[in-house]
Amino acid sequence: MAEGVRRHDLVRADPDAFAALLRARPDLDGAPHVADWAARGRPLIVRRYHPDEDRALVPLGLPLPPAAGKRRIGLALPAPALTPLPGPTLAAARGDAPAAWQPSLDALLAHAAAHDLVPRPFGALLWQALTGLTYLAPTSDLDLLWPVSEIPPGFLAGLARIAAAAPMRIDGEVLLPDGAGIHWRELHEAQGPVLAPVLAKHLDRVELRPAPRPGEPV
């Protein structure tokens, strides 16, 4: 399996390697934006392996914007053909978000700062910010990644309050140190005297695991 990569990591592909890959993918002939995607420096995102995929390659995704059919294209390339790309923070990407979202973004960023967290967007806001193409629509969700070393007490409840008042749906995952991603709503609903199991997504598998308890290292 490709070492050192995790779901949601962003990478740039070597244009020559990307072109060679496309020559072996006639199903992508004529797909909008795809032919010059790497040459323009646009990123790809690391996704989860399919069951029968070659673990020597890095599994990648290329989501097309709504005007191009909103197709989710699965690709795979060797790690030497890829260059890591730091993902933008929510604070850096918020300028590409709709005006109606801005009060909720203020609340999210204040909530993050209060818990020493730095959220990152993925989904439509991420791709619009990085490519300049139009991904956001009036019905778009806000998808966020929350990397944590532990679940701060009160964080999930506060996030739920912000989400309840927001004009857009706020989705996303809490990212644990081992690379597992757990949907924040599922994690919030699992809290209680007896912690319910939650679905954790890894690069190479999906598993049920006990929900981490707030305030304890995970």
User: Is 143 annotated as catalytic?
Assistant: yes
User: Is 141 annotated as catalytic?
Assistant: yes
Residue with tokens 């989710």: 72
Which residue of the set 141, 171, 178, 204 is catalytic? Answer: 141
Helix (H) or strand (E) holding 201: strand 197-201
Which residue of the set 143, 171, 178, 204 is catalytic? Answer: 143
Amino acid identity, position 45? I
User: How far apart, in whole angstroms, are the C-alpha atoms of residue 207 and residue 180?
Assistant: 9
User: How far apart, in whole angstroms, are the C-alpha atoms of residue 184 and residue 174?
Assistant: 6
User: How far apart, in whole angstroms, are the C-alpha atoms of residue 49 and residue 46?
Assistant: 9
User: How far apart, in whole angstroms, are the C-alpha atoms of residue 49 and residue 205?
Assistant: 8
> Which residues are known catalytic residues?
141, 143
